[in-house]
């Protein structure tokens, strides 16, 4: 495998001042920057030509690995053919083609099949779109008092005002005003009962009864939807306890509350099925996606809506716009081209189910880190792992951050949230690369104070 030499411009000294970086300690970063210059397959290369194995599929998005030629070529062709076209009261063929291809792999059956596709530009936009569709749906079926949204503690649903309202990460919320009326289920993380679980933990199904409690508190007739990540990634890899999602589904249905699965991370094969709903055998009414939809190459997201949700809004005079919502970049032709090429790769290489074969090896390799100093939990599911470290007193996150910097220097990209290390490599990962990543991580953990 060869990694292209970075262009000259990237090798020159530059000022880092102008770029205000997202979710980054800007001053700390700029004092000691880590710059990725090129990528191929399972690896990044740094500016000085060092290879770094990608333990995080970028940000959980490069499922088919880096530098895939068919995607590059499809993007090039599309840019030369139709670079942009508006999607408001206008259409272009490739957006319909891509929606049809997504619908063909959408989970669900009959009126519950999630085969009506609303395009967005990101996961955050998908979340806000799904929340708005839920409220609009309730109104369309004569349930206009249902505007309240329920999320979950420790949930991450992007950074729009809707997403941070239903999200449950305090740092993303404390500075900003939130939408009124929202409430939260408790999170399902329970180290005492579930530490070192492989796959779904045994304890905690009863936490889904929180939805019943919130119904009793607020009245079902005020609640439009409940949104959860079927497997929560960004908050530090929280796997749903056995029976939890089933119970949440049952309670939501009984009270006329729509269930939204945020599959921005789990969509497109991360757990070994195309979507997590299929892995857990629980079907939502709306599903949000992004990231893997274009292999991370061109920004895009999509909301998959159950046919019954979509159809409820397709009423009234035909000249009426049914949903006053959309983005300049909804169904962007270049993103659709990237998405179609991505789906071809996924299908051609069996990537949406490949993880089923890798998962046992992954689980075994990761759980072998049990007993390494500071490791207080390891959780694995599909091609995802969370390794939780004991926090230093008064310095939550410091230990994991040090491991992150050390791993990067030694040639492994990991992701950290607080003191949880998350691993989620591209789905093309080979067994020997799993061993390599775990060995690099072990070294970093053993060096930690």
Contact set with ligand PLP (CB under 6 A): 122-124, 127, 156-158, 229, 233-234, 262, 264-265, 290
As measured in angstroms, the least distance from the Cβ of 167 to ligand PLP is 8
As measured in angstroms, the least distance from the Cβ of 125 to ligand PLP is 7
As measured in angstroms, the least distance from the Cβ of 122 to ligand PLP is 4
Please report, to the nearest 10 degrees, the dihedral formed by the alpha carbons of residues 245, 250, 251, 253 taken in order. Answer: 120
Nearer to ligand PLP, 158 or 241 (CB): 158
Order of strands across the sheet that contains 148-152:
116-120, 301-305, 286-289, 258-262, 223-228, 148-152, 183-185
Nearer to ligand PLP, 45 or 276 (CB): 276
Nearer to ligand PLP, 160 or 241 (CB): 160
Nearer to ligand PLP, 3 or 107 (CB): 107
Nearer to ligand PLP, 312 or 334 (CB): 334
Q: Can you tell me whether residue 218 is helix, strand or coil? A: helix
As measured in angstroms, the least distance from the Cβ of 184 to ligand PLP is 15
Instruction: For residue 420, give every residue at least 6 positions away whose Cβ sits within 8 Å of its Cβ, in sequence order, or none.
Output: 236, 237, 386, 387, 388, 389, 400
As measured in angstroms, the least distance from the Cβ of 158 to ligand PLP is 3
Cα angle 57, 61, 64; round to 5: 70
Q: How far apart are CA 238 and CA 156, in angstroms?
A: 11
Cβ 294 vs Cβ 339: under 8 Å: yes
Query: Closest residue (Cβ) to ligand PLP?
Result: 123
Nearer to ligand PLP, 208 or 232 (CB): 232
As measured in angstroms, the least distance from the Cβ of 234 to ligand PLP is 4
Q: Can you tell me whether residue 136 is helix, strand or coil? A: helix
Nearer to ligand PLP, 46 or 129 (CB): 129
Retrieve residue 382's tokens: 């599909």
Retrieve residue 337's tokens: 């081209």
As measured in angstroms, the least distance from the Cβ of 57 to ligand PLP is 11
As measured in angstroms, the least distance from the Cβ of 436 to ligand PLP is 25
Residue at token pair 């939780």: 388
- Give the 3-state DSSP-derived string for 180-246, with helices as H, strands as E and coil as C: CCCEEECCCCCHHHHCCCECCCCCCHHHHHHHHHHHHHHCHHHEEEEEECCCECCCCCECCCCCHHH
Q: How far apart are CA 233 and CA 243, in angstroms?
A: 19
Instruction: For residue 21, give every residue at least 6 positions away whose Cβ sits within 8 Å of its Cβ, in sequence order, or none.
Output: 29
Nearer to ligand PLP, 159 or 358 (CB): 159
Q: How far apart are CA 413 and CA 406, in angstroms?
A: 10
Beta partners for residue 53, in sequence order: 43, 412
Q: How far apart are CA 265 and CA 124, in angstroms?
A: 12
Nearer to ligand PLP, 46 or 122 (CB): 122
Retrieve residue 373's tokens: 């100093």
Q: How far apart are CA 329 and CA 326, in angstroms?
A: 8
As measured in angstroms, the least distance from the Cβ of 296 to ligand PLP is 10
Q: Which of 166, 171, 177, 183 has its CA nearest to residue 228? A: 166
Helical packing angle, 398-410 and 431-447, nearest 10°: 130
Residue at token pair 């491991």: 403
Nearer to ligand PLP, 127 or 414 (CB): 127
As measured in angstroms, the least distance from the Cβ of 139 to ligand PLP is 25
């Amino acid at each position: 495998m060869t990694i292209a030499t970075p262009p000259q411009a990237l090798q020159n000294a530059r000022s880092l001042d102008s770029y205000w970086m997202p979710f980054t300690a800007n001053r700390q970063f700029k004092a000691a920057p880590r710059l990725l210059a090129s990528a191929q397959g399972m690896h990044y290369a740094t500016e000085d030509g060092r290879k770094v194995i990608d333990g995080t599929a970028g940000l959980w998005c490069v499922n088919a690995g880096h530098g895939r030629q068919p995607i590059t070529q499809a993007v090039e062709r599309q840019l030369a053919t139709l670079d942009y076209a508006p999607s408001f009261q206008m259409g272009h063929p490739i957006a319909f083609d891509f929606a049809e291809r997504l619908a063909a792999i959408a989970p669900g059956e009959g009126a519950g099949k999630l085969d009506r596709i609303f395009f967005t530009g990101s996961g955050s936009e998908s979340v806000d779109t799904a929340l708005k569709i839920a409220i609009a749906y309730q109104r369309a079926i004569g349930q206009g008092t249902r505007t309240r949204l329920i999320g979950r503690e420790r949930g991450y649903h992007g950074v729009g005002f809707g997403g941070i309202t239903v999200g449950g990460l305090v740092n993303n919320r404390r500075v900003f005003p939130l939408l009124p009326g929202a409430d939260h289920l408790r999170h399902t993380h329970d180290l005492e009962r579930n530490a070192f679980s492989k796959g779904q933990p045994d304890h905690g199904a009863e936490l889904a009864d929180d939805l019943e409690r919130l119904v009793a508190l607020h009245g079902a007739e005020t609640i439009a939807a409940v949104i959860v990540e079927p497997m929560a990634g960004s908050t530090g890899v929280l796997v749903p306890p056995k029976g939890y999602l089933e119970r949440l589904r049952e309670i939501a249905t009984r009270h006329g509350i729509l269930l939204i699965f945020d599959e921005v991370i789990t969509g497109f094969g991360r757990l070994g099925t195309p979507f997590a709903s299929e892995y857990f055998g629980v079907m939502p009414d709306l599903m949000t996606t992004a990231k893997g939809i274009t292999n991370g190459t061109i920004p895009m997201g999509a909301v998959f809506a159950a046919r019954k949700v979509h159809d409820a809004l397709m009423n009234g005079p035909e000249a009426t716009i049914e949903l006053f919502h959309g983005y300049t970049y909804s169904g962007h032709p270049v993103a659709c081209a990237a998405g179609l090429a991505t789906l071809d790769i996924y299908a051609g290489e069996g990537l949406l189910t490949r993880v089923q074969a890798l998962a046992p090896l992954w689980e075994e390799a990761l759980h072998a880190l049990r007993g390494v100093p500071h490791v207080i939990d390891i959780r694995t599911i599909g091609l995802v792992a969370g390794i939780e470290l004991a926090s230093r007193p008064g310095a939550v996150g410091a230990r994991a951050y040090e491991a992150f910097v050390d791993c990067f220097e030694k040639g492994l990209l990991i992701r950290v949230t607080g003191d949880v290390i998350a691993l989620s490599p591209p789905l093309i990962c080979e067994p020997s690369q799993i061993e390599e990543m775990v060995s690099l991580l072990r070294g970093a953990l053993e060096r930690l104070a």
